[in-house]
Structure 1
Amino acid sequence: MVIYAECGHQGPAEVEFCGECGQYLKWDDDKPVAVRQQPVAQHQVVQPAEPLAPVRSPRQQVLEEEVLNPGDLICGKCGKGNAPTRNFCSRCGESLAESQVVKTSWWRRLFGRKPKEHQAGARPGKDGVRRRAGRAGAARRTAGKLIRRAIAVALVLSALIYALYQPFRGAINTAATGLWSQVTGVFEAKLNPVHPIKVTATGQSAGHPAPLVADNAKNTFWAAPVDREPALVFTFDHPADLRKAIVYAGNAADLQSTHRPQKLHLVFSTGKTFDMALADTPDAQEVPIENSEGATSVELHVVGLHRSLNGTDVAISEIELFEAG
C-alpha cells in the first residue's frame, strides 16, 4: 500500500485512479498547466502564438484478462472489475455509485464451501503439516473417486436389470408403492375398511365367480376371459369416500397360469373416474384412490394386462378397499 501524492489517500500502487476521489495517479512529471491567451487589441498585428502545451492523456496499457469475483463492481464506462471497497474505477476514474455487482452463481450459493480459516501459527505448511496433509488428502480423494465409480456402476447395472428383468421391476415398483404409502399414511386421515354388500362381474370363468375377489381369502381368485373387457362391480350400503386399495393380482398358487391386471379403470357411481396402475407381482400392492367421494358403487375395468405364458384368463385374488374415517 502507498500514499498517493496527488490526493493523500492510501491504496495499491498499481491502480491508475484513486478509489476515494477519482484522481488520476500516473503522471510521470508535474501536471501541466494551461497557458492563458492575452486579449488582442483592435488593429494590433497578431503574432503567431506558440501552441498550447498538450494536455497529457492517461497512457493506455495492455491489460491482461482478469477474473471477476463475486461482489466486484463492474465499471459502466470501461468494464473494469473493481474491489467492493472502491468508489471510483481503478482504470478510468469513473464513479462506481451505480455500477453492476458481480453475483454469486446459484450453485455456489447452495453448495459452495467457505474457505477454512487458520489461526496464526497453525497454517498448513508449518513444520511439515502440508506434506502429511497432502498425502492424506490424496488418499482420501482416491478412495472417494473409487467409491463414486462403484456407485455409478451399481446404478447403471440396476437400471439395466430394472429395464430388462420383469420380476425385479415388479418387486421394485411394489416396494416403492408400499414405502410411499407408509410415508404418506402418517399425514393422511385414518382409513377404515369398507366391505361391499354385493360383487358382480361382466364375465367370469367356471369355478371363479366375482364374489371370490372380496372373500378375504388369498387362495381363491376371480377369473374372466379377456376376449371382451372384463369388469368387476362393487356395491356399498352407503356413500363412500375411497382413499386406498390393496390388490393381490393373479393366481397366487401359479402366477403364470393366468394373466394379471396391469391397469384398472375405475368408474364411480358419481360419474368420476380414476386409473390404477399395478405391478406384475402376486404380493400385496397398496394403491391410492381419488375422485370417489359420495360413490355408492364402483366399476373396475381391466384395461391392461401383464400377459401369461400359459393361461388365457385374467385373475385377481383379492381387492380390499379403504375409506376415509
Structure 2
Amino acid sequence: MVRPVTADEDAAGVPCPVCRTPNQPHRRFCRRCAAPLTSVAGPEPLPWWRTVWPFRRRTRAGSGRLTRLLVILAVVLALCAAGFLLLPAGRNLFEDTRDKLGKAKPVTPARVTATDQLPGHTADLTTDGLSNRYWAASRPGASVTYSFGKPFRLVDLIITNGASKSAEEYARQARALRVDMEVTAQDGKVHRQEIDLSDKPGSQTVPVGISDVRKIRLTLNAPVGLTRGRGIALAEVEFFQRT
C-alpha cells in the first residue's frame, strides 16, 4: 500500500530502492511504500577457479565446524604421539619395535681388559672370532670389560660359554652358569642384567636393547666344574648393533 507524502517532509535524503522517494537518513523503511531502505548484502562472489569443475562446489552448512573438528583431532593425535615417544615406556617400546624390524650387524670393542686371567688365556681371546680359544679366570667374581669407540644401540649379545663349542673340549674347563652384565651408556647411566647360561657347548643369544652403549662389563658367577688346575672359561662374546 502506498501512502501519500506530506509536503512538510524533507525532499532530500536516501532514495527508496523501490519507488525512489527521498527519505531521511534515520529511517529504516520508505515513508511512502514502506519498503526496507537497507539492502541485505549478498554473498561474496567466488574466485574464478572455484567456478571451474571440479572445484565448483557448494559450501554446505556446518562444513566449517567439521574442518575445525578435524584440526582439533589432528592436534590431539599429534600431542598423544609426542607424549608416547617422550615417556620412557613409550620410547622403549618404540626402540624395541625398531630392533625387531631392523637388521643387526656385529660391532667390535676397541679395548678389552679383565680383573683376572690365567697365562695364555687372556680376555681379548673372547673377541678374536675363534671359539676354540678362550679367556680363563681363576676364581668366580672375575670380570671382563669391553670398551667401544663410539656409542651404539646394543641389540643382542651372543655368548659361547666354556672352553670351546666342542663337547669334549667344553668339559675340560669350568663354566659360569650366571653372568652379571653391567652396561654403561653415553650419559653415564648404568644398566644391569643377570644372564643365566645353559651348561652346554654352543652359542647362546641374549636379547638386550640398550641405546648409546659405551662400556660393557661381564662378571662370571655360579661356576661348575671348578677344581684344582682348572679355570672358568669363556670362549667367545659377540656384540650386535642395529643398523
TM-score range, shorter chain: 0.5 to 0.7
The separation in 2 between residues aligned to 1:299 and 1:284, in whole angstroms, is 19
- Structure 1 counterpart of 2:148, one-letter code: F
Q: 2:152 aligns with which of 229, 235, 240?
A: 240
Question: TM-score scaled by structure 1?
Answer: 0.40
**SS of equivalent residue, structure 1 residue 257:** coil
1:264 equivalent in alignment to 2:179 = yes
Q: 2:110 aligns with which of 176, 194, 197?
A: 197
Answer whether contact 1:229 1:302 (CA < 8 A) is retained: yes
**SS of equivalent residue, structure 1 residue 243:** strand
Match of 1:125 in 2: none
**SS of equivalent residue, structure 2 residue 116:** coil
- Deviation of 1:286 (Å): 1.4
1:251 equivalent in alignment to 2:170 = no
The separation in 1 between residues aligned to 2:234 and 2:130, in whole angstroms, is 11
1:188-236 CA-partner distances (Å, limit 9, x unpaired): 421111100111101000110111010001111000111x511010010
Answer whether contact 1:256 1:311 (CA < 8 A) is retained: no
Matches within 5 A, 1:32-181: none
The separation in 2 between residues aligned to 1:235 and 1:222, in whole angstroms, is 17
Match of 1:218 in 2: 131
The separation in 2 between residues aligned to 1:186 and 1:244, in whole angstroms, is 9
* Pair 197,278 (structure 1): closer, same or farther in 2 beyond 3 Å: same
Answer whether contact 1:257 1:311 (CA < 8 A) is retained: no
Match of 1:154 in 2: none
- Deviation of 1:308 (Å): 4.6
Q: Larger relative contact order (C-alpha < 8 A, sep ≥ 6)?
A: 2
- Deviation of 1:323 (Å): 1.3
Higher strand share: 2
The separation in 2 between residues aligned to 1:209 and 1:231, in whole angstroms, is 12
**SS of equivalent residue, structure 1 residue 272:** strand
- Structure 2 counterpart of 1:221, one-letter code: Y
The separation in 2 between residues aligned to 1:209 and 1:317, in whole angstroms, is 11
Unaligned 5+ segments in structure 2 are: 1-96
- Deviation of 1:256 (Å): 2.2
- Deviation of 1:310 (Å): 6.9
**SS of equivalent residue, structure 1 residue 294:** strand
Match of 2:200 in 1: 281
Question: TM-score scaled by structure 2?
Answer: 0.53
Matched positions, count: 140
The separation in 2 between residues aligned to 1:319 and 1:283, in whole angstroms, is 12
Answer whether contact 1:249 1:316 (CA < 8 A) is retained: yes
1:322 equivalent in alignment to 2:234 = no
